[in-house]
Structures are given as C-alpha cells and as structure tokens.
Chains A and B, each alone.
Chain A
C-alpha cells in the first residue's frame, strides 16, 4: 500500500521509493527496508508527521503517495 494510505500509528516497512524523490529523501532515512509510522496529520490535514529512524519527519501526502509500504 501507499504510505499515504497507511492508518495512523501503524508500524510499516518501506518497500520502495519513487525515483523522483529518492535523492531528496534518502538522506532523511526514507529508503526501502526502513520502518515508518504516521504519527499525525497537520491540523489542516496535510502534511503528515512520520516517525522514522527514531526522529520525526514531515512530508506532504503527495510525496507519501510515491512511497510504497507494507504493514508489519
């Protein structure tokens, strides 16, 4: 499933990241094999706050659509 569809507070693992954004997000730890969890959405619904590699990262839903994950 896409990361944008992952329910909140559900642990998942990244399967793939679209090439379009990989160079931007790789340094932030968003790479296949990494565990990720959505903590919350911004009060206005977007962007999302993720917990990844023990820190908090914010991405918009449109970027989360480019990240494929599976629940674990």
Chain B
C-alpha cells in the first residue's frame, strides 16, 4: 500500500519547490472535497503519495485553509508530515512546528532557503535543532534542488527502518500550571468521552482548554461531551489560549537562543526594495507604473508572436484552398470553422500566455503583498480588504481563479463582495475582442488608449459595485488586515515558467474543449440552414439562411434598441459560453467575405443594423466593447461563482447585474455618439 506524505509550512517558504522536487513535477491539481481550495498531489518513488497541504501560519478553525490542513492531519492520518521551515524566519515558522508537535504525529523538518540565510550571515546549528525538536531536520535550497536527495533518503530510511513510532516527535512540555490543567482535562476526557480522539487525547485536551470552536462542536455531539466541557470550565481561566501561545513562544525562544545566530542590524535587499516600493510618495505612482508596464510588456511581447501564428494559419489556409476540393464539407469545416473560427482564438494564445507570465512573475516576486499593503486603505474605504485587491489583480488573467482566490478573505461579507465584483475586471479572454475592434473608434493609433479605457471602466464599475454591495447589502465589519510582508524573491525562470504553465494549461484545456466544441458547433449551425425554395433544413445553404443566422435573428430583437445586427448578437450569445468565441464567431460568419484590411474592418461593417450613420459607428463599436466587458465573463465563471458562494441567488445576481449595467452603458454611449439621430 502506498504511504502518504503531507507537506505543510507557512506561506512563502518554498513549499511548491519542495513538492516539485520530491515528485519530479508529476503532481496534479484537484480540489479538496467540498471546497475549491486547490489540492495538489504527486508521487515520489511510486510508493509515496505526496500531498501538498495549504500554506498556513497556524491550525485554528477560523480559516478554511487551516481547517483543511488540520482535518487532513487529524482525520486522514498521513504516515509522515514534512514541515517546511524558512531558515531566514525560523522563530515564527517554529510556531506551526509546535502546533504540529502537539498533534504528536510522525514528522520531519525541512529547513529551506538555506542560501538566503547564508547570505544574511544566519547560522543554524542543524544538529542541535534536530535534537531539541526531537525529529530530523534537513537543510535544503529547494529551488535549486539542493538537499532534496537527503530529504528523500531520510524519508525512505524512516519507512524502511519502521521508525514511524510517535516517538519521532517528543511531546511539548509546558509550565506546571498548564500541564496540570491539560492532565485534568485528559482525565475528564478519559472518564466521560473515552472514544473522543482517543489517539490524540492530549491534543484534544489542549484544544478544549483553548476553547477551540471545532473541537467543542465535535465533542458536544458525542455522549457526555457537554459534561466534559462543563467540567473543564470549572478550572479553566479562559486565558489558556493566550497562555499557551506565550509558552510556545517561550520554548521557541529558548530553542532559537541555542541554535540560531543572526546579524540583527543587517539590512537586507528586501528592506531596501521596500524603501522604494512602499515609499510615502513614490509607492503609489510606482504601483501604477508597474501595472502599466505589465500591460505594455504583455502587448509588445505577444504581438509579433500572434502575427506569426496568423501568418502561419493564413498560409495553411491557402494550401488547403489549393489542395482540397472547394465544395467538400471538410474543406469548409477546416477553412471556415477551424482556421477561420478556432484560428482566430489561437492567434491570441501568445497574448494570454504573456499575461499569465507577467502575473506569475508578480506573484512569485512577493510584490503583490506590497500592492495589498499600499492599497488597503483605499480598499478599506470601499469596505473591502487589501487581500481583495490581490484577487482583483488576478482577474486580469482570468476571473475564475480570481474568484477562487477569494477564499483567503476571512470575512464572509468581504468574500462575497469580492467574488461578485471580480467579473468587471477585464480578463485575458476579452482582450482579443478589444484588439480586433479597438482601432475603429479613434483610429488605429488609439487602440491602446481604447483598451486602457475599457480596463479602467471595468475597475470603476468594480469599485462602484463594491461600494453598493458593501454599504447597501452586506453591512458587516471588515476583517482585520493581518498580512506578512515576506521577502522579495527573484522569480526563477523555472518556477515562473511552471506557474505560468499551470495557469496556461487551464486555458489550453478550455480552448481545446469548450472553445473548439463551440466553434465546431457554430460551424455546424452555420452549415445547416433553411432552404428558401423548399422550406426544409438542408446542408450548405446560404449563410444568411443558416441556423446560426437564425439564432442571431432570434436574439437580435433584444439588442435592437442598441441597433446591433444579428452578427453582433451571435457574438454576444456564443460569447456567453466563452469570451474567446466572440472573435471566433465573427471569423466563422464572415469567413466567406473578402476584406483586404482584415477581420476587424469586416466586423465593423457588419455590426450595426442598416441605417446607422457611418459617423456614429465608433460609438456603436465602443458600446459593443463595453457590453462585452461587462456582461458575464463566461459560463465557467458563473459555475465558479456558484461553487464559491453556494448560492443560486448570488449567481443570478452576478449574471444579471453585469448584463444590465452593460446594456445601459451601451445605450448611453449610443445616445452620446449620435447612433439614434
């Protein structure tokens, strides 16, 4: 039977790197049962299942991540815990180590980031530390793979020696006063609730003394559990949680004193960088500059690659036109459907990947927590949390992981608000539509400005909606802002690459499955139509009579007040499945028409109903883009909202308010732009 290894550690200690090195990147991502917190599992040596627990500071029941980690350890009983410690910040990291020791589980410690520690003249007496902790301590530089073999060897040896006894972790001894209370509680448990966590009775006793919500809830459900709680209350003072935290840190200080030496006055690179990035006057302008360069970089780097793909697809199309029979159905499928429709999406893959690359870089560098620190005041005024800000930023990549990232927000009201406003942050999938049509509003040269204005509008709507939700609907208190400003790390090519790929992979999957399916479906709908002579469905009718056009005509009346054509309606309807499809729909419908200036020009020519003056077209196009920005990002986003809120009501709110605001704004833009005169 395979053995379970569980990796645990504070956030930002290089746990991902340890996981990847141990499993040789065989890991795969799923969700923990019932929640959307990512669960990463992988294999080491074929016989060990490695489980990556969420990065946590403690094991309190107030946060989802911490409960997941704790439940896994208490209920699933992994065969070995691998606790990863940050050598540059050992003292605080040992707090979690002590909470784990209380659980009396077989454990080893990985002392990571030894290279950074060395640079800072930090000296750690590893052997002494292992002796005091009562378990093996292995120094590593996981990101370079150093020390990983030693970790593997140690793990194998522990299992081959069968030394998995609880003794690999000596229980923590507290002061006499606390120990007496623990002992009395243990006796009460033994007498009145003998089956309650019988293998972790000492831990259960400690948690009862700490008035831990979860343990109290669980014991209340067991027979005589209430009696135990009542009896504990007789001798507990109520300050045990406090006292225990203090005592843990006292023991930790003693260990630190014996094993750890650091140069207290040393100024680190992080300190210097913080002087710049968190500067009183420059901090915020720098923040905006970073955001701006992020977009600039994304567009500039990806543009030539996108053009290259387009040229390649064009050449492929030409080849097919020459080589394959013109009227065969498969020629039409490949030319119109796959190259025209799906190809229009593929052309934007470099753009989306570059966006993911930049976001991964920012995330891995440690800057995002600074952004949260800089912006918290503003977010607080909006009734939100600095962490909400980070989730909003992630929305620029894709709203789905952004919605999921909201789980890090403690207060339920803040979490719901952040989930509900995220859809206004323009994701990568909407960008292709802006790029395609943005040049037809103020001219080619102003495409960038138009795109920026759309992003900006999205942010403004997000802010206004946040104010609305927070001030009108959820009138709760904002959760405290407790955020570690960890060290800056130079993101490595390898890990930023892995990180980008993990996100991009989801996009590719989506592109491969949903987008491809939708495009082929659209092609079929486009190929089947009503024959005007017979009135029956037939293959290969005129596109004007196709089922796709029929769908467009069916929905067009909804958009008639906006003066949008059936082609515009098809884009919106199918764009609901995935925004990338908007461009694909245009590519497919207009594949048969010739336009030397490209698809964008062709789309603009077909976007409005007859009778809209050419001078009013820029306004109409802009209104269309605003609607694309604001209506539901995609079906998968609604799915994520439903999963995260667990409420049909909020999912419906998310879907309808976006459509409503988008529609109203498009109407107003049309009015101003003279579409109706």
Instruction: Please report A residues at the B interface, Cβ cutoff 8 Å.
Output: 17, 19, 21-29, 31-34, 40-47, 49, 53-60, 62-63
Closest 9 CB pairs of A and B: A27-B58, A44-B377, A26-B245, A43-B283, A56-B485, A27-B57, A58-B483, A60-B481, A53-B91
Q: A42 contacts which of B60, B89, B249, B373 (Cβ < 8 Å)?
A: B373
Q: A29 contacts which of B95, B280, B283 (Cβ < 8 Å)?
A: B95
- When distances are taken between beta carbons in the complex, the residues of chain B under 8 Å from A43 are 278-281, 283-284, 374
**A63/B482 contact (C-beta < 8 A), A43-B281, A54-B89, A54-B262 known:** yes
On whether the beta carbons of B57 and A28 are closer than 8 Å, the reply is: yes
On whether the beta carbons of B373 and A47 are closer than 8 Å, the reply is: yes
On whether the beta carbons of A40 and B482 are closer than 8 Å, the reply is: no
Q: List 7 A-B contacts (CB under 8 A).
A: A27-B58, A28-B57, A28-B92, A31-B249, A42-B373, A55-B89, A55-B486
On whether the beta carbons of A33 and B246 are closer than 8 Å, the reply is: yes
On whether the beta carbons of A57 and B482 are closer than 8 Å, the reply is: yes
Cβ of B123 within 8 Å of any chain A Cβ, yes or no, is: no
On whether the beta carbons of A22 and B482 are closer than 8 Å, the reply is: no
Q: Which residues 233-253 of B sit at the A interface, judged by CB distance below 8 A?
A: 241-242, 245-246, 249-250
- When distances are taken between beta carbons in the complex, the residues of chain B under 8 Å from A60 are 376, 380, 480-481
- When distances are taken between beta carbons in the complex, the residues of chain B under 8 Å from A33 are 246, 249-250
On whether the beta carbons of A42 and B278 are closer than 8 Å, the reply is: yes
On whether the beta carbons of B376 and A46 are closer than 8 Å, the reply is: yes
- What does the 1/0 interface line of B446-477 toward A look like (CB < 8 Å)? 00000000000000000000000000000000
Q: Which residues 265-295 of B sit at the A interface, judged by CB distance below 8 A?
A: 274, 278-281, 283-284
On whether the beta carbons of B377 and A24 are closer than 8 Å, the reply is: no
Q: B482 contacts which of A17, A34, A44, A59 (Cβ < 8 Å)?
A: A59
> In the assembled complex, how far is the CB of residue B595 from the closest CB belonging to chain A, in whole angstroms?
50
A42 to B386, CA, bound (A): 11
> In the assembled complex, how far is the CB of residue B483 from the closest CB belonging to chain A, in whole angstroms?
5
On whether the beta carbons of B386 and A47 are closer than 8 Å, the reply is: yes
- When distances are taken between beta carbons in the complex, the residues of chain A under 8 Å from B519 are none
Q: Which residues 37-60 of B sit at the A interface, judged by CB distance below 8 A?
A: 57-58, 60
On whether the beta carbons of A24 and B374 are closer than 8 Å, the reply is: no
A34 to B283, CA, bound (A): 29
A33 to B60, CA, bound (A): 22
- When distances are taken between beta carbons in the complex, the residues of chain B under 8 Å from A53 are 89, 91-92
- Known contacts A25-B482, A27-B99, A56-B485; 9 additional CB pairs below 8 A are A29-B249, A42-B376, A42-B377, A43-B281, A44-B374, A44-B378, A46-B380, A58-B484, A63-B481
- When distances are taken between beta carbons in the complex, the residues of chain B under 8 Å from A62 are 480
On whether the beta carbons of A28 and B482 are closer than 8 Å, the reply is: yes
- When distances are taken between beta carbons in the complex, the residues of chain A under 8 Å from B375 are 44
On whether the beta carbons of B91 and A29 are closer than 8 Å, the reply is: yes
* Closest A residue to B210 using CB positions: A23
- When distances are taken between beta carbons in the complex, the residues of chain A under 8 Å from B92 are 28-29, 53-55
Cβ of B675 within 8 Å of any chain A Cβ, yes or no, is: no
* Closest A residue to B377 using CB positions: A44
* Closest A residue to B277 using CB positions: A43
A23 to B480, CA, bound (A): 12
**A63/B480 contact (C-beta < 8 A), A46-B380, A47-B376, A54-B91 known:** yes
- What does the 1/0 interface line of B57-91 toward A look like (CB < 8 Å)? 11010100000000000000000000000000101
